[in-house]
Amino acid sequence: MTDTILDIDNLVVALGKTKNPNGPRILDGISIQVAKGETLCVVGESGSGKSVTSLTTMGLLPKNALHAVGGSVKLVGEELLTASDRRLRELRATRMAMIFQEPMTALNPVVPVGRQIDEVLRAHTSLDGRARRKRILDMMEQVHLPEVERIFASYPHRLSGGQRQRIMIAMALVLEPKLLIADEPTTALDVTTQKQILSLIRELQRDHGTAVLFITHDMGVVAEIADRVAVMRQGRLVETGPLDKILRDPEMDYTRNLLAAVPSLIPRPPRPETKEPVVLETNELGKVYRERSFLGKAREVVAAQNVTLTLRKGRTLGIVGESGSGKSTVARCIVRLIDPTSGGVRLAGHEISILTRRLLQPHRKRIQIVFQDPYRSLNPRLTVGESISEGPVNYGTPHDKAMARARELLELVGLPADAISRYPHQFSGGQRQRIAIARALALDPDVLVADEAVSALDVSVQAQVLELLDEIQRRLGIAILFITHDLRVAAQICDDVVVMQKGRIVEQGPAGEILTHPKEAYTKSLLEAAPGRNWDFANFRPVAEAVA
């Protein structure tokens, strides 16, 4: 291949404390190439080896755990596997750079973001302070950050998720490397921010001729940005080819299954309206955050305002919108993890918005929440059985009975019986989310709140968890409040949808009506920004052809 920037040939990575060619293989014979100005998307389920491929290229494999034991990785003809640590440090940022999935964990929380980009220039150039600052501000403007002087001096927590990701892109590209590796850079972003980041990467690639190795589990993103696609499974390359070939005519069943698992933007057939009782309702719910500066000046941020919604038993209500729209704030107010500033929350007929902690306690078991990251919400020091039984035991259930119920719930969510004595780190992300769902169900709640519960999962695991929630709802009649930025997911699980923007409800109604015939410009813009909206993945064709 002419103008090849990255050439990975028959790469083998093995597990072990020492470099042992006979150790368990994490990567087994991977061969891919990326040319100048080309975007290669590497897709596959969690554990397929996507990120290990990128970390091997960057020379960032964890010491005493993973070792490259065979093959070759060349960057513009230079072998990386035999390069010294010093040489790899020189190559990072100057010839290759990487954007990680979660910028908040990749950025130093106690250093302004401008200084963090400046560290790259100080380490790799001889520019003086004024020249470095000018280049940084120019780069920040190139990634379309507003008020660059203010953001230069801002700390990461002061920026939105999309702005932090733009800072990571600016840091990666400030020295114009020939190779950019993007490891799930849009997974946690809402659809409009995601669209902006993808357009930005395309624009910068066009301007600088950068080769991009883009790692993702989102086939919608693949359809938007890829020139070629490499599909991985269990450390092996399943198939590779041009984007159109992979989407229209995949050769392998695994690739076909990945595409078929992508949820459709077309809402599922509506379920008949029911006369089941209302289990949750909010009335003009509001939340205002008040911050006080060092000078004593008060600043108010309205996170939610006049939010009124109703949820009946056995139904699923989705709340969608961009980051900062107030979705999670409303969910946390409803669950009373934070106190609302105004309005009311009625749970199974009881007003809970004004109850003290002691009076609220009997009502907490009626409403439970499943968070986005199950690894952070499960106690790593407790076994799965202890985590699931903890709630019932706190409410007076005998330990043996609570553990028996935990076994039943593990069976309900499709996990083996021996899972009860294992720890969270011994499970995959999808399995941990199943455990979190089992824990939430242990108190037999009337309402289950799922706050971005599937956004970090790959498409096949996501489909399994959505199917699980649907099955649980049919069997138990539980009501689900589903918070998501993914309109595809909302289309497949929600009976009704509430669209929020800047803390307010823009429109609400049946999912089929809102997602196919939106009335508000904002809702239309959300649908227009959904990645891969022009592809009917399950039928391997563009939507236009399906309509024709």
pLDDT tens sequence across 328-344 = 899 999 999 999 999 99
Q: Are 49 and 24 in contact (CB under 8 A)?
A: no
Q: Is the domain of 217 the same as that of 334?
A: no
C-alpha 153/C-alpha 524 separation (Å) is: 35
C-alpha 376/C-alpha 127 separation (Å) is: 42
Look up the CATH number of the domain holding residue 356.
3.40.50.300
Q: Where are the alpha helices (DSSP H) in 125-239?
A: 129-142, 148-152, 161-173, 191-208, 219-225
Q: Are 217 and 184 in contact (CB under 8 A)?
A: yes
Whether 166 has a pLDDT exceeding 90, the answer reads no
Is residue 267, in this structure, part of any structural domain at all?
no
- Which residue from 391, 437, 430, 428 is spatially nearest to 410, judged by alpha carbons? 437
User: Does 93 or 240 have the greater pLDDT score?
Assistant: 240
Q: Is the domain of 302 the same as that of 251?
A: no
3-state SS assignment for residue 511? helix
Is residue 269, in this structure, part of any structural domain at all?
no
Whether 226 has a pLDDT exceeding 90, the answer reads yes
C-alpha 375/C-alpha 373 separation (Å) is: 6
Phi, psi (rounded to 5 degrees) for 97:
-145, 160
Q: Is the domain of 480 the same as that of 394?
A: yes
Q: Is the domain of 75 the same as that of 146?
A: yes
- pLDDT score for 482: 95
- pLDDT score for 324: 76
- pLDDT score for 1: 44
Is residue 266, in this structure, part of any structural domain at all?
no
Q: Is the domain of 196 the same as that of 320?
A: no
Contacts of 401 (CB under 8 A, 6+ apart): 392
- pLDDT score for 417: 80
Number of domains in the chain: 2
Q: Is the domain of 450 the same as that of 384?
A: yes
Q: Is the domain of 58 the same as that of 188?
A: yes
User: What is the rounded radius of gyration, in angstroms, for the C-alpha atoms of the chain?
Assistant: 25
Q: Among 157-171, 220-234, 323-337, which stretch is predicted with the lowest mean pLDDT? A: 157-171
pLDDT in tens, 9-58: 999 999 888 888 888 999 999 999 999 999 999 998 877 889 899 999 99
Domain ranges, residue 503: 278-545
Across 263-397, where does the E strand assignment appear?
278-292, 298-312, 316-320, 342-347, 350-351, 367-370
Confirm whether pTM is higher than 0.95. no
Is residue 12, in this structure, part of any structural domain at all?
yes
Phi, psi (rounded to 5 degrees) for 35:
-95, 165
Whether 379 has a pLDDT exceeding 70, the answer reads yes
Q: Is the domain of 297 the same as that of 246?
A: no
For CA atoms 92, 93, 97, 102, the dihedral sign is positive
Q: Is the domain of 191 the same as that of 286?
A: no
Q: Is the domain of 252 the same as that of 302?
A: no
Phi, psi (rounded to 5 degrees) for 323:
-60, 135
Element (H, E) at 480: strand 479-484
Whether 495 has a pLDDT exceeding 90, the answer reads yes
C-alpha 386/C-alpha 422 separation (Å) is: 10
Phi, psi (rounded to 5 degrees) for 543:
-60, -35
- pLDDT score for 296: 62
Q: What is the rounded average pLDDT of the residues 133-159?
A: 90
- pLDDT score for 294: 59
Q: Is the domain of 257 the same as that of 289?
A: no
- Domain edge (last residue) among 261, 287, 317: 261
- pLDDT score for 409: 92
Phi, psi (rounded to 5 degrees) for 342:
-150, 170
C-alpha 498/C-alpha 511 separation (Å) is: 9
Is residue 271, in this structure, part of any structural domain at all?
no
Whether 293 has a pLDDT exceeding 90, the answer reads no
Phi, psi (rounded to 5 degrees) for 546:
-65, -40
